Amino acid sequence: MADVDAETQTAAHESTPLLPSDRVYLHRLRQSRDFIACHIVKIHGEDSWVWLVRRQLQRFLASKWGHYFVILLVSADISCIFADFLVSLHICEHAGDKDFNLHAWRTANDVLGFVSLAFSCLFMAELLGSIFAFGFDYFRSKFHIFDALVIIAAFIIDVLLRGPLEEAGSLVVVFRLWRIFKIIEEFSTGAADELEELQERIEALEREKDEVVKENQQLRYRTGYAAEGDTTGGTNGHNGGGFGQ
């Protein structure tokens, strides 16, 4: 039974939004009806699979695993961009060398370019998923607006620009590093909030423990007093019987 309760608590903790801003946002979202939510309810209803997918997407994007996934994507994308930049510099420096395998290095550069485009598509999908999950209220946050501009700019650069302009324009994606710093900062804030909540729970449990100890002492006192009264009554009765004889 304890294992089942522990698994239930773990599952609930993993699906609970970690960041304080996300917890507040989800609470407000459940209290209101945005344009997309109204449209889904009107067309499909709250019992439809579309509404279920939206709720699950909200929980994932606002959960700690959603933020870990974003951090992983951003880190991999930044690493890919820097690798592409270094490969391009290496090609420029050694393109005229006699034993330099220009074809292989250009192939590697092209592969990194396609990988960068794939990451841009993933971030665009994440942006569209966030809009679908949270509605246009998602852009009430300045951080979300800035992040959306970076994602759209990077996607346009990867799709439309080629050559030196692409290499220079890809540096825009470096601004995504700010997203990692923002998430880490809110992780710290969320951890501090959870620590404060745990401290309050500990204090409440200590107060309950003191009350239970006090009640236990009172119960023991009453039980002992009653037992003493019974013993005294029994002794008096025995003595009375002796006198009667």
Q: Supply the pLDDT for residue 173.
A: 64
Tens-digit pLDDT profile for residues 120-178? 889 899 899 888 888 888 888 788 888 888 888 878 877 776 655 565 555 666 676 77
Q: Supply the pLDDT for residue 210.
A: 86
Domain membership flag for residue 201? no
Domain membership flag for residue 33? yes
- Identify the sign of the CA torsion 232, 238, 242, 245: positive
Domain membership flag for residue 226? no
- Residue 42 dihedral angles phi and psi, to the nearest 5°: -70, -40
Domain membership flag for residue 55? yes
Structural domain for 72, as ranges: 19-179
Domain membership flag for residue 173? yes
Distance CA 182, CA 224 (A): 62
Domain membership flag for residue 123? yes
Distance CA 111, CA 114 (A): 5
| CATH number of the domain to which 89 belongs | 1.20.120
Tens-digit pLDDT profile for residues 12-70? 444 444 444 555 555 555 555 566 767 666 676 667 787 788 888 888 888 878 888 88
Tens-digit pLDDT profile for residues 175-231? 767 767 766 766 666 666 677 778 888 988 888 888 888 888 888 777 766 666 656
Highest mean pLDDT among 6-10, 31-35, 148-152, 233-237: 148-152
Residue 11 has pLDDT above 50, yes or no: no
Q: How many structural domains comprise the chain?
A: 1
Domain membership flag for residue 239? no
Domain membership flag for residue 113? yes
Distance CA 72, CA 70 (A): 5
Mean pLDDT of 86-113: 83
Local confidence band at 6 (pLDDT 50, 70, 90 cut-offs): very low
Q: Are 78 and 177 in contact (CB under 8 A)?
A: yes
Residue 8 has pLDDT above 50, yes or no: no
- Indicate the pTM of the whole model: 0.58
